[in-house]
Structure 1
């Protein structure tokens, strides 16, 4: 889009220009995805919506900046392009260093009011490199507008490559190294444009050489700083603790450490008085600390593993004698040892992280007793739900080990994290894999007042009801001094299982919470609360269901694939009660989903400040302010296009997390598919005449129908193919998103061309309105989905295109 009267569009277009655009776009997408991954480690969430919003703010501000200062364009492209390219590469590195030292910490939001300011600075700092990359693309398109097709193709090809490149680079260079690689790509683009000015420009090559040096020798100031409240940092503060090794892949950082704090035996009975075997800590993304247990010999009945008899997860083995066991996310392998120790004949361990499997099969094989190489153990590296979906095997026992960190669970940092392992649809799949009489075993940390424990019960309750069962008859529950255990039987619980559970809890001094027919006098005996809150809450939840959810101060509604925020408990309705329980500290409201409105307000302020205001002042100074109905119509048209596209993009990212197995896979593949397909649609739209609005008025309702149809049918398609091979799922993702993206790529360029017929000022305002709406549209879907789910957001994206149709009618 030309932002001012363009210079001569017939300027010479050297081939190096297209290479520079290609490298800049690849660097920009690599930078965006690397920030998402680094945030997953530094904080407790990937904040994909926040990073997308930061990138769009930078891009929108660059367009507004060029429109406000057209004199920059009149000086010729060979001055602006190298400078903007240089500033992008340099500012990306400086933004990482500054962001690393800004003391923003999600763990401190609930008690440190300065964290809001730090979040503001963090958001602003990381928007700067995207501002300069946007400046590169905008200025190139303005100067060489006659070659817009080739430039757009170079931009699209580079961005697409950046999406895919990141997935492989993380495993080679690590987190900070991948960000440095993005800076290096930007430095190479600077060098390419430097040659356009003259062959003697050496500064780009000096900078590029410096970045290569940093890649191979990263100084201490390049190390990623993450929250001191994460379990890895806590464990390393103990005397004698040391970090043994660190590994990265596209979706995780895995650390192995020695520490007195790296002792894993969740809920171990206080009746066990002997020392635990040696263990090494294993942390994923700096958290979820569990352990690799030292063992040699045959595990069945081994004396050194006696402590396993005193774990709450040992109950089904001691009394129910399962032969075929499925363990989901075993991490360091404690539950695999537990199954082998108790004589399980066949154990299937489904682990999503190949780094962990590789470590236990190679470097720590001898330490762990080679448990993953034993003939009775089969390891599957994939998402648990995908395995359950594709496998025809059935099991006597399915184990869900306790993996959530105590710190994150206790303070609600996981509230924004989608967890498709713990939804009603997931539990229906697990129950379908059980043999008759089989059990599903789930464990959580005990965190009063009851929240996560009751959300687990309510979600399982929904799954059982959908299977036509009476939930209370299928559940057993008990608690230790620090954990909550829920056992779900495929068939109704019988008297033998009840007596076995009562005997087990009496021997281990665990407290009963539920079994069919339990009486109040049997609960709260050993680890006592002033009132038997877990027994009473679970009893009332199973009896009353929705009525209990409505009056409880925390959100206990069942987690679903449409609303997969299992760890989000706060409710707007009870904010005053939560505020009072927190001792009058308002910061507690910023935990979990309550942080999203703050980010939304922050993005709104910055969008107005850096996108809309510059254009307002420019228009006022030059007498360009459009007026009347036409101005409102075009502003509304481009605003709802920005909102609709971002609503759809964020919804697709969330929906495909389960299908592809990880948030970073979903972000990369969704953005890649949208870039390619929307680019093709935009290119195709050039053939369509916009002098009449007829084609646009047909396209927009068609898009609405297409999106509503996708909202209904895509979940069914994804569920049906959930168990397919990974390559097929990636290919299907491209096809499904491409079918939408092709048509979604048309309304914006067609609107720009039609607005240009009315006057260049409408184009400038439309560009900035769309940019501002896109920034907000990256955050608003998460805010809506926390309450109503992503299906509603999907429908709203279709409604946005209907509003765009109405705006077009008003304009005409």
Structure 2
């Protein structure tokens, strides 16, 4: 009997591990196929399948299916759902955004419903609930620690096959009564893998439609952050991050001719205003900016690149093609996040260059901001200013396709930078220009350039550039600012709210948010009626679910900049929160506790997080290990106390599966609401919202 129980708990850990890895891999594939925003809304909705599955465990004939059969069903349903995702033209651009998100949800929700059936059965029937919480927490923690590494080494769909094979092999070893079915499942997966059926059909990938039309993917590699593709278009090679943010690989046929150039042609960088021997490039990509700076006479170039795969490509496969640009004696390539490097460096630079530093992707589907969001905030502008030399210059350039809303988006981004400069009393030191350009492969772009000079500007402007702002003169950015502020959301970007690409007014997005919440709340109302659940219990468990996921996601966003790398935010914060959450769930079932007291403690630690997180940004810790340990320790009590009330309450319920379903619905609603609050109000407001939600739980306990 003990051996059987140990097997069941081990299976709980393995299923939890596979779930978190599956959610991460699926979110990255959705980002690649349809963009970050679609992934952000689809993933929380399909996770609502957990709640639906848990609520249906008493429905015939589902109540007669064994736990092992649920897992086998999960494997098969997962593969079929993903086949539909990568092979069918699901996203229809002529339809509404809400329609497409709902359509994706209907296709991808079934694996999560199956997992909900499994966990609903486990949480409602297992007598040792504390062990379930503990093993569940351990599995989720391992998933948080290794999901990035699985993505890096196995990619898509290799990572998917890895986690489902693990589950099937476990079933073959420990449930030999149904070994024929499990072996059949293994053979089915081997057939799908051999035929490469889960390979993405790029004819439905809209991210390549402009920059890589008629192109051919020749290299695909993965890091812990993004999928990186090299696409050949004619004689040009472009690198894509998660299917977007292209960077052209520089081609240098004769490295000996590196410095033969007329500086008057380099209007996209400010060498017409003077000499800049010491240069910092944030987002070196395919080496074009490095090449331009070398041609203009730079003597010392620090090139920051976040994506390690791009560095490997430039140093290996494209070393000769790029003329060894990444090995040039005047160039130092640094694999780091830009703000993290700036905070730690003691050097001064004559030029800081951010030229199209975009990723258009995120480290998680639950994080509503792009990886580069912190590079354009008010605090970032102040840090750039501090490390500029006396005659230094900051250049931020955005090149956007002319088609669609490109011109509007580019202007709004420049307006945000202008507002930051104005708030720092630096607007008299900046120039903003616009220019229509054509690339060598005939792509038409609009190029917006933001200059920030440390001292008085001297030089002439190119006649092809339209000046949007110049000190002491009124140009378009001043004339159009009030009009744009009425029509669009153009908030001052702060580290506490780095919504760099969010220009939609909250009034326009709110109806869409409410529609999504209604999709989730409607099943809760059905449960309330059919399950005859007390209204106070519905509010209590929904509040716990909302507060738990909102706290987790808010911490991930708030501490990302301090940790210095998105991977650490995912691994350190999430693993600490989940590990100590599992421990809290186990501990609560072995001690008598006062629910109100522990929820009050949770509210206290949550509000304390506002001051703690802000304090962390005032200290400089050069050691990454020490930063990781510090954050891991600070998050531990929050993770611990966040699960204690739920664990203690659930153990006393007769209909655990319904309460578990309500908590799951709360996590979906919490994900949507905290993303909305982070985008329009910021992380500090997110902590206040979380405190209010937990206070609501205290009122109905």
TM-score under structure 2 length normalisation: 0.89
Separation in structure 2 between the aligned mates of residue 712 and residue 459 of structure 1, nearest angstrom? 27
User: Measured at CA, do residues 720 and 90 of structure 1 come closer, stay the same or move farther in structure 2, by a change above 3 Å?
Assistant: farther
The aligned residue for residue 628 of structure 2 is 730
Output one character per residue of 1:297-349: Cα deviation in whole Å (capped at 9) or x when no partner.
4467544x66x8534323x2233101100000010010000110011010000
Q: 2:105 aligns with which of 123, 133, 149?
A: 123
- The whole-number CA distance in structure 2 between the counterparts of 1:194 and 1:132 is 19
Give the match for residue 692 of structure 2.
799
Distance in 2 between residues matched to 1:42 and 1:226, nearest whole Å: 10
Match of 2:196 in 1: 219
Q: What whole-Å deviation, never above 9, does each CA across 1:737-783 have from its counterpart, x for those lacking one?
A: 223111112111222345x3xxx35x565433322222211111112
Report the alpha carbon displacement of residue 664 of structure 1 after superposing the two structures with TM: 6.0
Q: Does 1:229 align with 2:206?
A: yes
Alpha-carbon separation, structure 1, partners of 2:9 and 2:158: 26
Unaligned runs of 5+ in 2: 362-366, 437-445
State the aligned residue count: 682
Q: Are 2:249 and 2:288, in contact at CA under 8 Å, matched by a contact in 1? A: yes
Q: What residue is the counterpart of 2:440 in the other structure?
A: none
CA distance in 1 between partners of 2:646 and 2:249 (Å): 54
Name the counterpart of 2:364: none
1, 4, 19: which one pairs with 1:13?
A: 4
Where does residue 112 of structure 1 map in the other structure?
Answer: 95
**What residue ranges of structure 1 are gaps of 5+ in the alignment?**
1-9, 261-277, 409-413, 520-534, 542-547, 576-593, 620-624
Q: Rg bigger for which structure? A: 1
Report the Cα distance in structure 2 between the residues aligned to 1:725 and 1:339, rounded to whole angstroms: 31
CA contact (8 A) 2:528 2:535 kept: no
Q: Conserved in 1, the CA contact under 8 Å of 2:31 and 2:38?
A: yes
Provide the rounded CA distance (Å) in 2 between the counterparts of 1:641 and 1:59. Answer: 16
C-alpha separation between the residues in 2 aligned to 1:752 and 1:603?
Answer: 24
Q: What's the RMSD between the two structures over aligned residues?
A: 3.0
| Separation in structure 1 between the aligned mates of residue 697 and residue 52 of structure 2, nearest angstrom | 23
- Secondary structure (helix, strand or coil) at the match of 1:427 reads helix
Tell me the residue number matched to 1:207.
185
**Equivalent residue for 2:452, pick from 488, 494, 499:** 488
Shift of residue 64, structure 1, vs aligned partner:
0.8
- With over 3 angstroms needed to count, the CA separation of the structure-2 counterparts of 1:218 and 1:329, relative to structure 1, is farther
Does the CA contact (< 8 Å) of 1:326 and 1:349 recur in 2? yes
- Corresponding residue number in structure 2 for 1:704: 603
The aligned counterpart of 2:165 is 184
1:32 and 2:32 correspond = no
Aligned position for 1:472 = 427
CA 1:787 to 1:186, structure 2 compared with 1: closer, same or farther past 3 Å?
same
Distance across 1 between alignment mates of 2:307 and 2:369: 22
Alpha carbons 1:707, 1:797 under 8 Å: kept: yes
Residues 784 and 150 from structure 1, CA distance in 2 versus in 1: closer, same or farther, beyond 3 angstroms? Answer: closer
Question: Using the alignment, how far apart are the partners of 2:11 and 2:275 within structure 1?
Answer: 65
Whether the aligned pair in 2 keeps the contact of 1:38 and 1:175 (CA below 8 Å) is yes
Separation in 2, partners of 1:451, 1:295: 33
Matches within 5 A, 1:241-320: 241-260=215-234, 279-298=236-255, 302-303=259-260, 310-314=265-269, 316-320=270-274
Q: CA deviation at 1:123?
A: 1.3
For residues 201 and 657 of structure 1, the distance between their equivalents in structure 2, rounded to whole angstroms, comes to 45
Deviation at 1:162, TM superposition (A): 1.8
Aligned to 1:767: 660
Q: 1:46 to 1:382 in 2, by over 3 A?
A: farther
Measure, in 2, the Cα distance between the counterparts of 1:736 and 1:121: 40
| Contact 2:130–2:585, Cα closer than 8 Å, also in 1 | no
In the alignment, does 2:404 pair up with 1:511? no
Secondary structure in structure 1 of the residue aligned to 2:396: strand
Q: CA deviation at 1:443?
A: 0.9
Aligned to 2:443: none
Superposition map of 1:431-446 within 5 A: 431-445=385-399
Name the counterpart of 2:512: 598
| 1:538 paired residue among 473, 478, 481 | 478
Give the Cα separation in 1 of the matches to 2:37 and 2:567: 9
| Residues 1:94 and 1:660: Cα distance change in structure 2 (over 3 Å) | farther
- Partner residue of 2:650 out of 746, 752, 755: 752
CA distance in 1, matches of 2:33, 2:191: 25
Q: Quote how far apart the aligned CAs of 1:450 are.
A: 4.2
Check the 8 A contact 1:26/1:162 in 2, yes or no: yes
Taking the TM superposition and a 5 Å limit, the aligned residue runs for 1:545-584 are: 548=482, 551-572=485-506
The alpha-carbon deviation at position 696 of structure 1 amounts to 1.9
**Counterpart pick for 2:83 among 80, 83, 97:** 97
Which of these residues, 576, 592, 616, is aligned with residue 529 of structure 2?
616
Task: Report the counterpart of residue 331 of structure 1 in structure 2.
Answer: 285
CA deviation digits over 1:767-806, x for unaligned, max 9? 3332222221111111223322222121110111111112
Q: Which residue of 2 aligns with 1:411?
A: none
Which of residues 138, 156, 163 in structure 1 aligns to 2:137?
156
Q: Classify the secondary structure of the residue corresponding to 2:397.
A: strand
Three-state SS of the structure 2 residue aligned to 1:435 is strand
Give the aligned partner of residue 524 of structure 1: none
Cα 1:453/1:233, change in 2 over 3 Å: closer
How far, CA to CA, are the matches of 1:64 and 1:348 in structure 2? 56
Q: Runs in 1 of length 4+ with deviation above 6 angstroms?
A: none
Is the 2:420–2:493 Cα contact (8 Å) retained in structure 1?
no
CA distance in 1 between counterparts of 2:320 and 2:485 reads 53
Asked whether the equivalents of residues 54 and 119 of structure 2 are also in contact (C-alpha less than 8 Å), the reply is: no
Secondary structure at 1:442's aligned position in 2? strand
Say whether residues 1:50 and 2:41 are aligned partners. Answer: yes
Which TM-score applies when normalising by structure 1?
0.78
Match of 2:591 among 688, 691, 695: 688
Query: 5 Å matches for 1:455-470?
Result: 455-463=413-421, 465-466=423-424, 469=425
1:50–1:242: structure 2 CA closer, same or farther, 3 Å change rule?
A: closer
Cα separation, partners in 2 of 1:255 and 1:48, compared to 1, 3 Å? closer
